Structure formats: structure tokens, C-alpha cells
Amino acid sequence: MGRTSDYELYQKVQEENKEALEMLYDRYEKLLFSFSFKMLRQKELAEEAVQDVFMKLWRKKGLYSEDKGKFSSWLLTVTRNACIDLIRKQQKNEVEILEKDIDYERTESVEETVTWNEERESLKEAVSSLTEEQQDIVEMFYFKGYSQSDIAERKKIPLGTVKGRIRLALKHLKKIYRERGDKYGAENLR
Amino acid sequence: MEPKTCDNLLEYYNGLLEGKEKDAFEKHLKQCDACQEEWAEWQDLTADLPYLSEEAEPPVGMKERILTNVTASDSSVAHHKTQPVNKTDEITTNVSPISQRKSKSWVQGLLAAGLLLSLVTNAYLFNENNKNEQVIQEQINKTFKTVQLASEETESTGVASMVQENDTMNLVVQTNNLTQVKGTETYQVWLIEGDKPYRAGTFTPDENGNGAVVFPVKFEGDHEWDAVAISHEPTPNSKKPVGTIVMASNL
């Protein structure tokens, strides 16, 4: 397809190729930022999360290999971990917020950008088939990073049932999503 | 299998384990087949969820900030570090710490100018938005000027350099032994022209009080910078310099 694969770019980034870093950045900026923003609800913090992810990619060698699955999935996991770290730091009031003192013109990227509109629509539909409680549980567990006991307390359900409920909700979601969204399921995202 | 340790899987997944508990679980995960299987299951069950995120517009300038910080963190700053600052006498000015009295009047000057600052800066930035395009450079081209920063009251030291990269002037600041910041406190770097301070950027030092940052200097028009200063601010959002100047030097 004439498009450099994520893995090829990642390998070049490992060799400290700045051009490859920028291409990878352009490709994932929007997705990683949007995901971080959903988790952190603050643009400054979301930017910090994205920066942490690219710091890792640039500085730490050999974090990703193809046996870890798709690069995009791995990258999203790294992003979620960065967000979770910031949530924890924020709870301890240790977090520093990057300040945007200097602004630039937004440059329209020539590089292909990952978009996920169709996936989102399809996922939202799947989510709406969950009960309200299930939706809350998924939100609290995955996007807010709550502990099981926090979820039990907030939803007034026995602690011992929390894990089972999260699993059930996620399984249901995945089933509906993958059935409905087959034609643009996750496989479509490179 | 130790059921009690296995029970920690979801707390680990949500980054809720710390210290020994975390180490113990990581060790356990490597050895426990049941946990590895369950780990893979959770990864699979949650793999699609990030795509639920609504598209959010990244803040203006995020790309440049991140790419500059990421690549500066080890290459350009490290590269710069290797230049023996003391030997380049022509461009290095050893400046003794500014006197207390001077520093006070300066702070007052900053305070007076402070109210205007955000407006002025915003106006500059607004114009700048329509003009310039930041390109990530391959390497540092030329060090224009390097000054040493020192503090009268603490062990803190630092080096500030103006570095020309093609059309872009960068201010590279490295500090050592800065007092730790607490909570929302940060250090802010100012470029001073006459009695007008321009905020160049914000940083926080690492746990050893060391920090290295690169700020692109993109204020519109020609500037003859007179001095560079670092102030300790109570919050990163303070638009005017309300904190104390910890280090400064004439350029």
C-alpha cells in the first residue's frame, strides 16, 4: 500500500530517527489525545499523557515487538497506563500540568491519521445495549481506573460481585460490537 | 497459585498496586499461568474501548511541544551538555548572582509588567499563529550565547543558552540542585528585554533538582534580550510572575 507500517516506523524510532517519530506521532496524535482526554478530562493532562507515551517510545528500547500483538493496541495500552499514572499522581497531588506558553500554527499533517468514527458509532450502539449499571461499571473501571471496592461502594453492590459484573458487561459489549461492527471491527484499524 | 495474589490482578491492571505489592504481583504474573490467561482475557475484553473516545482537538502547539521535549530530552540537550561551557570564553559570561536589592526591584518590575504580560504574550502568539511553521530540526546548528546562572541563597546552578536552529531560536535551560517544587509549584523561565519580561516557558525539576528544557523563542519582531531569569511560581498557571526570582543572569 506504499504506507510504512507502524512496526517499521517503530523500528526507525528505536534508531532515533526523528522523521519516523514525527510520522508515528502524526498518525496517532488524535487517537491518543482523544483517548487520554476521555480518561483525564483535562487537555493539559491529556497532553502530558501523550508526551509520556512518546517519551517512552523514544527513550526506552525494545518495549514493543510484534509478538505483543498489534502495535496500535499496544500503544493504546501504554497510553492508558500513562493516564492511570497521572490519575494516581493527581490523587496524590503530585501532578504537574504542562503549561502551553507558546503556540504555533497548526500544521495540517500530510501523514495519514488514524480515524475511528465508524468504530466509535458502532461501539456506542453496543454500549447502549448495556444496562445503565453496566455502562457505569465499565466507565468507572476502564476509563476512571477505580478500584473494585470503589465501584462496589459507588454502585452499592457487594464487593465480591464487582469483578464478575465488569467481566459480564465487557463480554456482552464485545459480543455485540464484534457482531454488529464486523465489517469495520478492530481489524480495520492498522 | 496463590489465590490471594491472583486476586490482585484487576487492581494491578488499574495501577492501584504500589511498591512491594506491585513488585510481588509482577513476579507472580510471570509465573502464574492462570493469571497470564486472565490478563490476556482482560486485554482482549478492553481492546476496543479506547475507540469509544470522542474525537478531541489537541491543544494548539502540542505536536511541537511534545516532539521538542521528547527529542531534546536526550539528544540535543545531551549534545549540548558536551560543550565545555567554561572554555568558550567568548560566548560565556560568568555572571555573579544578582544582588538582593536589584532582584527586589526587578521583581517589582516584573510584577508591574505582569498584568500586561498575558495580554502582550497572547497578542504575540496570536500573530505568531498566522505566520510561522515549526519544523523539527535534525540537530542544533549554532550556540549563540551561553550564560551561567547562579543563585545567591541556594546551591542551585544552571546554564542558559540561546541556540539557533535554522530560523528558530531556542532557549536551552539546564539546572542543577534546584529546590524541589511542591504541589502545583513550578519554575518559570523569563526572557527580559528592557524592563519587560517575556515568559519563555515552565518546567519542574526532577527529584534531584535537575532539569533540562528547550523552549523555542518565537516572539514576534526583533528582540535584544537583556537577561534571562528563573522564578519559582506557586502555580503553573500564574500569568504574572508572583513568585521569587531564584536565578538570573544578563545575556
pLDDT of residue B157: 78
Which residues share a beta bridge with B157? B150, B176
Is A138's CB within 8 Å of B49's CB? yes
Confidence of residue B153 (pLDDT cuts 50, 70, 90): low
- Name the 3-class secondary structure at B213: strand
- Identify which has the larger pLDDT, B121 or B150: B150
Assign A145 a pLDDT band (cuts: 50, 70, 90). Answer: very high
By C-alpha distance, which of B166, B78, B50 is closest to A58? B78
pLDDT-derived band of residue B213, with 50, 70 and 90 as boundaries?
confident
- pLDDT, mean of residues B145-156: 74
pLDDT score for B189: 83
Q: Is the pLDDT score of B231 beyond 70? A: yes
Q: Can you tell me the distance from the alpha carbon of B48 to that of A178, in angstroms, rounded to the nearest whole number? A: 10
Residue located via cell numbers 496570536: B126
- Whether B11 sits inside 8 A of A80 (CB atoms) is no
**Residue B62 predicted with pLDDT over 60:** yes
A101–B16 C-beta distance less than 8 A: no
Identify all chain B residues contacting A54, using CB atoms and an 8 Å cutoff.
Answer: 66-67, 70
Could you tell me which of B240, B141, B150 has the C-alpha nearest to residue B190? B240
Cβ separation B202–A101 shorter than 8 A: yes
Phi, psi of B107 (to 5 degrees): -60, -40
The pLDDT score that the predictor gives to residue B104 is 39
Same fold, A6-91 and A117-188: no
B210 near B157, Cβ under 8 Å?
no
Chain B environment of A174 (Cβ under 8 Å): 44-45, 48
Least confident interval from A62-71, B75-84, B108-117, B192-201 = B75-84
Residue B36, pLDDT > 50, answer yes
Quick check: B10 and A166 CB within 8 A? Answer: yes
- Give me the residues paired with residue A154 across strands: none
Predicted pLDDT of residue B238:
58
Q: Above 80 in pLDDT, residue B77?
A: no
Report pLDDT for B69: 93
Strands B168-176 and B157-165: antiparallel
Q: Do B53 and A58 touch (CB under 8 A)?
A: no
| Interval A98-122 mean pLDDT | 67
Contact (CB, 8 A) for B93 and B250: yes
Fold of A6-91: Rna Polymerase Sigma Factor; Chain: A (1.10.1740)
How far apart CA A6 and CA B223 sit, in angstroms, is 42
Q: Tell if the CB–CB gap between B70 and A21 is shorter than 8 Å.
A: yes
Query: Which of A53, A59, A89, A101 best probes binding to B when mutated, by most B CB atoms within 10 angstroms?
Result: A101
- B60 vs A103: CB contact, 8 Å cut-off? yes
Residue A101 pLDDT: 46
Contact B54 A55 (CB under 8 A): no
Nearest to A104 among B46, B73, B134 (CB): B134
Three-class secondary structure of residue A157 per DSSP: coil
Residue B143 is predicted with a pLDDT of: 65
Rounded to a whole number of angstroms, the distance from the CA of B107 to the nearest CA of chain A is: 20
Least confident of A100-109, B103-112, B122-131, B189-198: B103-112
The confidence band for B149, taking pLDDT boundaries of 50, 70 and 90, is confident
Q: Which of B243, B225, B227, B230 is nearest to B185 (CA)?
A: B243
Does B180 touch chain A if contact means CB atoms closer than 8 Å? Answer: no
B227 pLDDT band, cuts 50/70/90, is: confident
Three-state SS at A2: coil
Q: Is the pLDDT of residue A188 over 70?
A: no
Q: Does B16 touch chain A (CB under 8 A)?
A: yes
Of A24-38, B38-52, B133-147, B232-246, which range is least confident? Answer: B133-147
Candidates A29, A33, A170; nearest CB to B46: A170
Q: Does residue B130 sit at the A interface (CB-CB below 8 Å)?
A: yes
Q: Could you say which residues from 77 to 106 on chain B have a Cβ atom under 8 Å away from some Cβ of chain A?
A: none
Read off the C-alpha cell for B113.
509588567
Are the beta carbons of A96 and B10 separated by less than 8 Å?
Answer: no
Per-residue pLDDT at B142: 63
Interval B154-179 mean pLDDT:
77
For residue A117, what are the CA distances in angstroms to A173, B32, B175, B179, B203? 18, 38, 45, 47, 36
Q: Taking a C-beta distance cutoff of 8 angstroms, is the pair A13, A57 a contact? A: yes
Most confident of A156-165, B129-138, B180-189, B224-233: A156-165
In which element (H, E) is residue B145 found? strand B142-150
B94 vs B234, higher pLDDT: B234
Distance CA B158, CA B149 (A): 5
Average pLDDT over all residues of chain B: 71
CB contact under 8 A, B67 and A116: no
CATH no. of A117-188:
1.10.10.10
Q: A94 or A27, which is more confident?
A: A27
Contact A55 B69 (CB under 8 A): yes
- Over residues A45-98, the pLDDT tens digits come to 999 999 999 999 999 989 999 998 999 999 999 999 999 999 998 888 765 555
Q: Which of B110-119, B125-134, B147-156 has the highest mean pLDDT?
A: B147-156
pLDDT at B236 over 90: no
ipTM: 0.88
Q: Look at B150 and B107; give whichever has higher pLDDT.
A: B150
Mutate: best of A99, A150, A168, partner B, most B CBs <10 A: A99
B168 touches chain A (CB under 8 A): no
- Tell whether the model's pLDDT for residue A103 goes beyond 60: no
Which chain B residue lies closest to A105 (C-alpha atoms)?
A: B129
Strand B168-176, strand B186-193: pairing: unpaired
pLDDT above 90 covers what percent of chain B?
26
Residue with cell 529546590: B179
Residue-range domain boundaries for chain A: 6-91, 117-188
Cell of B236: 503553573
Q: Specify the pLDDT at position B58.
A: 95
Is the pLDDT higher at B61 or at B164? B61
Which structural domains are found in chain B, ordered by start?
3-52 (no CATH), 62-250 (2.60.40)
Percent with pLDDT over 70 in chain B: 65
**Average pLDDT of A22-48?**
96
